[in-house]
Amino acid sequence: MRLSIIIPTYNERDNLEELAERLRSALGEAKYELVIVDDGSPDGTGKLAEELARRLGNVKVMHRPGKCGLASAVVDGLMVAEGDVVAVMDADLQHPPEILPRMIEEIVKGADLVVASRYVKGGGVEGWSQWRRLVSRVATLMARLSIPRARWVRDPLSGFFAFKRSVVEGLELNPKGFKILLEIIAKGNFRKVVETPYTFQIRRRGESKLKTSEYLNYVAHLNKLQKETIKKALSNLWCTAKPT
């Protein structure tokens, strides 16, 4: 099995080297590549990524001209990723790399999609205000009510997940904002989803990328996915209907 880890970055120079080292320690002798997709970070993240590529040998770097968004960075990263298993995680160390081996183990055992979940037993968040907890819960509830396939996933908005490459083969992914997992849940080719608990860590260096505009992007994305889901369901119903 070959693993590709897609890491979108924007101004994460202070975190990227530690992330690479912790991944190396966590994954040991496993065969994997890092696919770093940088959105023209002015702090030199892209330059550091190139340095890591030269030093480590298992790093690919994709440079994008501006701040194009986390979800589209994942889509672009998939174009160059070579693994038959793909993981997606943030560069800011809020997704602990030490959880990744447990996620890959679930795929080896037969899962198609593994979600690192804040909202199953044993999961949680660190350092959030009550307001942010409430907003996250409401957004999650909206997703689970709007997208039928998301109803069985406790944390469909997680940014930390892994999947077999076959889950997204042939799909047209066109997400907005941060929530690429929701698009994969709505459209993906999978049978078995497993959620593994983790604690979302407090950011220790750098600034959060979550702005008010991302909540608006989320609502627009959710509305688009809901319409596409209804359209697909009606199309399937029409195709399977038999004349009387």
Q: How confident is the model at residue 234 (pLDDT cuts 50, 70, 90)?
A: low
User: Could you give the 3-state DSSP secondary structure of residue 77?
Assistant: helix
Cβ atoms of 215 and 135 closer than 8 Å: yes
What is the reported pTM?
0.86
Q: How confident is the model at residue 172 (pLDDT cuts 50, 70, 90)?
A: confident
Residue among 27, 12, 18, 200 nearest 116 (CA): 200
With a cut of 90, say whether residue 97 has pLDDT above it. Answer: yes
Cβ atoms of 91 and 48 closer than 8 Å: no
Q: For the chain, list the strands marked E by DSSP.
A: 3-9, 32-38, 59-63, 85-88, 113-117, 124-125, 161-164, 193-197, 199-200
User: Could you give the 3-state DSSP secondary structure of residue 114?
Assistant: strand
Q: How confident is the model at residue 173 (pLDDT cuts 50, 70, 90)?
A: confident
Q: Count up the domains in the chain and report the number.
A: 1
User: Could you give the 3-state DSSP secondary structure of residue 89?
Assistant: coil
DSSP class of 3: E
> What's the domain range around 199?
3-240
Residue among 76, 20, 8 nearest 46 (CA): 8
- 204's CB contacts (< 8 A; 6+ apart) are 93
pLDDT tens digits along 118-170:
999 999 999 888 988 998 898 899 889 888 899 999 999 999 999 999 999 99
Taking the C-alpha atoms of residue 96 and residue 91, their distance in angstroms, rounded to an integer, is 10
Question: According to the model, what pLDDT value does residue 75 have?
Answer: 94
DSSP class of 168: T
Question: According to the model, what pLDDT value does residue 14 have?
Answer: 95
41-45, 156-160, 188-192, 203-207: least confidently modelled range: 203-207
- Percentage of the chain surpassing pLDDT 90? 65
Residue 42's CATH number: 3.90.550.10
Scored b (16 or more CB within 10 A) or e, 133-155 reads eeebeebbebbbebbebbeebbb
User: Could you give the 3-state DSSP secondary structure of residue 111?
Assistant: coil
